[in-house]
């Protein structure tokens, strides 16, 4: 595991991109199966579209394409107010997908289909892919996240994309694979999915508590409770 602040700077992200290129990976959308050695880069926008938009512009400037997943339940933003930014992301060559939030007792298939339709209207393009927010919650309810397959929609946790040893994530500002650059340098498989959360990335090294505090200062919303519910190392004492 690694929470080293230096592993969450845009300079470090640039190094990750360089390693992927050196390994002859191609930046691919989940809807594109034609690429040889695809790298599916995914950004879940749990807290901020503004941060995602900034990263999308950086990627566009560096000829990287990825997929940004938008949440309707976020306390940090309303997707309806970010129509221009989301459409601009698509114009940059990125894709936009749905970040689905499971609520106990809901019909997840109907909810995903309805939210994907609404998001398609917002971005003026068909949304064909979704990710799942905190899939462990589904597992606790006896629901296998890999088997949720609404008709016409692609699940990033399906067996096609989510395979043992072929997925790395920065969830909770923590690379569970250890040093991700070394992981990629040693990587021998022909496809990989990489999940990041733009809230954790910055130009200068900052520890994860500094990033939370900075985000809270810049947010127009009451985010303390939401952060505590969605980030494992955050508690009310820390953000109060």
For the stretch 147-169, pLDDT in tens is: 888 999 999 999 999 988 999 99
Q: How far apart are CA 171 and CA 192, in angstroms?
A: 16
For the stretch 55-92, pLDDT in tens is: 999 999 999 999 999 999 998 899 999 999 999 999 99
The pLDDT, as a whole number, for residue 210 is 76
Q: What pTM value is reported for the model?
A: 0.88
Residue 12: pLDDT over 70: yes
Q: How far apart are CA 14 and CA 18, in angstroms?
A: 6
- Arch. (CATH architecture) of 5-207: Alpha-Beta Barrel (3.20)
Rounded alpha-carbon distances, angstroms, from residue 68 to 51, 117, 166: 11, 16, 19
Residue 48: pLDDT over 80: yes
For the stretch 15-31, pLDDT in tens is: 999 999 999 999 999 99
In the chain, what are the domain boundaries?
A: 5-207
Q: How far apart are CA 19 and CA 21, in angstroms?
A: 5
């Amino acid at each position: 595991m690694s929470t080293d602040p230096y592993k969450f700077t845009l300079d470090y992200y640039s190094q990750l991109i360089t390693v992927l290129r050196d390994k002859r990976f191609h930046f691919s959308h989940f809807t594109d199966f034609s690429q040889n050695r695809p790298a599916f880069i995914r950004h879940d926008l749990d807290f901020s579209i503004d941060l995602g938009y900034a990263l999308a512009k950086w990627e566009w400037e560096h000829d990287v394409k990825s997929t940004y997943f938008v949440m309707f339940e976020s306390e940090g933003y309303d997707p309806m107010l970010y129509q221009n930014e989301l459409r601009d992301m698509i114009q940059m060559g990125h894709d936009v997908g749905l970040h689905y939030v499971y609520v106990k007792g809901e019909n997840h298939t109907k909810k995903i289909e309805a939210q994907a339709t609404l998001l398609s209207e917002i971005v003026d393009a068909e949304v064909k892919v979704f990710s799942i927010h905190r899939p462990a919650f589904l597992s606790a309810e006896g629901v296998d996240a890999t088997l949720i397959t609404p008709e016409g929609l692609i699940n990033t946790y399906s067996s096609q994309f989510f395979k043992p040893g072929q997925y790395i994530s920065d969830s909770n500002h923590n690379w569970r694979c250890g040093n991700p650059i070394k992981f990629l340098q040693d990587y021998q498989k022909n496809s990989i999915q990489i999940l990041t959360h733009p809230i954790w990335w910055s130009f200068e090294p900052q520890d994860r508590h500094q990033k939370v505090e900075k985000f809270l200062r810049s947010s127009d919303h009451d985010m303390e409770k939401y952060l505590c519910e969605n980030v494992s190392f955050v508690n009310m004492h820390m953000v109060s």
